[in-house]
Amino acid sequence: MEVKIGVQHAPREIVLESGQSAEEVERAVGDALAGKAQLLSLSDDKGRKVLVPADRIAYVEIGEPATRRVGFGAL
């Protein structure tokens, strides 16, 4: 699952590939924004954790991982 997190006052977004389901990510984001947790905590496919302060989250995009195209032709 590809997750993009926009952080306030940061020029770039955080992009990670997570093994968590879309529902799990959505639940973690909802808990952080509702004040149940002060940090949004997600783990990526390599076992690393990403922690974002809940009050600095600008947006979160949850989607399927993009497939990488190989070759020169446009399909």
Q: 39-70 burial, b if ≥16 CB within 10 A, otherwise e?
A: ebebeeeeeeebebebeebeebebeeeeeeee
The pTM score is 0.79
pLDDT of residue 65: 67
Domains of the chain (ranges, CATH numbers) = 2-63 (2.30.30)
| pLDDT tens digits along 39-71 | 999 999 888 999 999 999 999 999 986 566 676
Percent of the chain past pLDDT 90, that is, above it, reads: 68
